[in-house]
Structure 1
Amino acid sequence: MHQNTPPRSTIRLTRRGRLVLILLATGAVVAGTALVMPLLNLRHGGEEAKPASLVIPEGWRASQVYGAVDKALALPAGSTEKALAKARLKLPSDAAGNPEGYLFPATYPVTKKTTPESLLSFMVNTANKKFNGAPVAAGAQRNAMNVYQAVTVASIVQAEAASKADMGKVARVVFNRLERGMPLQMDSTLNYALKRATLKTSADDTKLASPYNSYQRMGLPPTPIDNPGEEAMRAAINPPAGDWLYFVTVKPGDTRFTADFAEHQRNVAEFNAQQSGARPAQSPASQATQSSSAPQTAQSSSAPQTAQNSPALQATQNSPAPQATK
């Protein structure tokens, strides 16, 4: 790390949570849930039922997908996860049988003949079609990664970006930190390790002994942390040029990216002041912890999270950054 880099105890990123809103034909709004709904076709003045459809939102974790499939097929909880062993999914060798990142978000048909194995295979095959093409492979190579690593970056982008417009810059922050030997310090990776969805991260959380603790571990997490969509993947393989190292969403629609830590502190102070109704101080004494919500689609956004005041956190380099494979 460069000598003029602020101490890791002061490096913080933050973002705001996102809420997925799916509007049904009936006008009902469903937040953050998978949808299984019959599609109707009018013929000869009557209604003929077609197969139901299962909607998997962008950014869902594998555990959420398994639960949605169980409900769609009216199976006991845990049935889909148990079916992994016999699903024979066509995953990359780096995945070691873990489909996280490859359960592609889309709408899937559900019929009486649908099984957990067939649905999971459909999702993975769809992901392979999206990810294994020449554009993704070339984009990954440009960034000194293999495709699996690109999917991992895309999953972080999906979880961290407050909007689709911010995805490219978030990806650039990831690459800039990796190139400078800085820990990513993304709360989305901690939330994944802790199997939770929260807007707050404590000092104790950052001491978690886990390969997904990007406060203490260098490089990318060992697997994707959710199942990203096409927008996040495009950002991961073709991020815009920029020197950004920090970002904070001060208010809805106002996410500020910077390479200057002092400027980042001022942005965080403004965010905290807006939350408390006070005027921002010029030199904030508090540090902002990065916070991430549950992985969801970026179709709409909720109010920004509060940057928390926390004790200084020392990030240690417990493991080297992974070697990129071209």
Structure 2
Amino acid sequence: MRHEYRPPQRRSRLTRRGRLALFLGTLLAIGAVIVIPLLRGDEAPEVPRQLLIPEGWRASQVYAAIDRELKLPAGSAKAAVATADLALPAEAKGNPEGYLFPATYPVTSRTTPATLLAYMVRTANEKLANRAVADGGKAHGMTPYQTATLASIIEAEADSRADMGKVARVVHNRLAKSMPLQMDSTINYALNRSTVDTTLSDTRIDSPFNSYERQGLPPTPIDSPGLAAMTAAVAPTPGDWLFFVTVKPGDTRFSATYDEHRKHVAEFNRLRRHTGSHPAQEASPEK
């Protein structure tokens, strides 16, 4: 069989320019997968800033701090509550007061008021679900919301952590005897202020937070309590106290009788007159 002669075929060889074009084309084809991620990996990660929310701050103070930290117009954080889908109990009726847990929170350029508020509420729920807090609340027949409410009073009233359990006992004892709590902190909340100078007219204001005229806990918490106050609310120190007064910083005196309490109030007023301050009302249990 005859074979037709065919000249040997020469393999095509790319010129230097052709090889360069092929290399660039390959890079363009895979660039989105390899080149771009490599470039992004070279970027330094953002270092979060820290936002501190202290124990005892009211929601209004937390909102203002968020607006300042995120450099937003005043009222932005408060407005975000309506759409933030916060994990609040039904008793709160959408009001996060008492559930903006005091802690240090990371803040980046992607942080929004809604994400911060949700983080705070989620943290408060975790603390209230703490076994000691949850079990203690159940033992006293209290819901987590009632625990947060009582804890907020303790946070506002106690001069130190060491006194929290005793303040809690005064509240429990008064509730058990159907006595008004008569706490200046609830009056201050109603009047949006913070002072120890509560007048007789203050105790007559028409407000659901007037614990001088209304029995029981106030309708909502009055600040953001920490874990120590929550624990004290459900594990009060044993005692028969019904009154207390912080005579001076570090010196809070608890009394079982009104006569004994009046003596402590007299000492408080004597010291205040010495410093030029106004005397306190004798009727106040904590003064």
Which TM class, normalised by the smaller chain length? 0.7 to 0.9
Q: In the alignment, residue 76 of structure 1 is paired with which amino acid?
A: P
State the AA in 2 paired with 1:217: R
Trace 1:129-168 onto structure 2 (pairs within 5 A): 129-168=126-165
C-alpha deviation, 1:132, in angstroms: 1.8
Match of 2:96 in 1: 99
Report the CA distance between 1:306 and its aligned residue: 5.8
Q: In the alignment, residue 169 of structure 2 is paired with which amino acid?
A: R
Deviates more, 1:230-239 or 1:141-150: 141-150
Q: Secondary structure at the match of 2:47?
A: strand
Other structure's SS at 1:50 match: coil
What TM-score does the superposition give when structure 2 sets the normalisation length?
0.80
Letter in 1 for 2:152: S
Residues 307, 255 of structure 1: CA spacing in aligned structure 2 closer, same or farther, 3 A cutoff? Answer: farther
Q: Distance in 1 between matches of 2:206 and 2:261?
A: 28
1:15-52 deviation per Cα after TM superposition (whole angstroms, max 9, x unaligned): xxxxxxxxxxxxxxxxxxxxxxxxxxxxxxxx997211
> Which residue of 273, 276, 285 corresponds with 1:276?
273
Change (3 A) 1:48 1:134: closer
Matches of residues 256-295 of structure 1 in structure 2 within 5 Å? 256-277=253-274
Structure 2 stretches lacking a partner, 5+ long? 1-43
The Cα of 1:57 is off from its aligned counterpart by 0.2
Instruction: Select the structure with the greater relative contact order (CA < 8 A; seq sep ≥ 6).
Output: 1
Identify the residue that residue 321 of structure 1 maps to in structure 2: none
**Cα distance in structure 2, aligned partners of 1:240 and 1:112:** 45
Measured on the aligned residues, the alpha-carbon RMSD in Å equals: 1.9
**Structure whose residues are more often strand by fraction:** 1
Q: Aligned pair 1:113/2:85, yes or no?
A: no
Q: Output the amino acid matched with 1:227.
A: S
Contact 1:268 1:307 in 2 (8 A): no
Q: Is the radius of gyration larger for structure 1 or structure 2?
A: 2
1:111-144 deviation line (CA, Å, top 9, x unaligned): 0000000000010011111112332221012112
> Secondary structure of 2:173's match?
helix
Structure 1 stretches of at least 4 aligned residues deviating more than 4 Å after TM superposition: none
C-alpha displacement of 1:271: 2.0
The sequence identity of aligned pairs, in percent, is 60
SS at match of 1:108: strand
The aligned length equals 240
Query: How big is each residue's C-alpha offset from its partner over 1:226-262, in whole Å with a ceiling of 9 and x where there is no partner?
Result: 0000110110010111000011122222211010111
Higher helix proportion: 2
Q: Kindly state the Cα deviation for residue 183 of structure 1 after the two structures are TM-superposed.
A: 0.3
TM-score (norm 1): 0.70
- Where structure 1 has 5 or more consecutive residues not aligned to the other structure, the ranges are 1-46, 278-302, 314-326
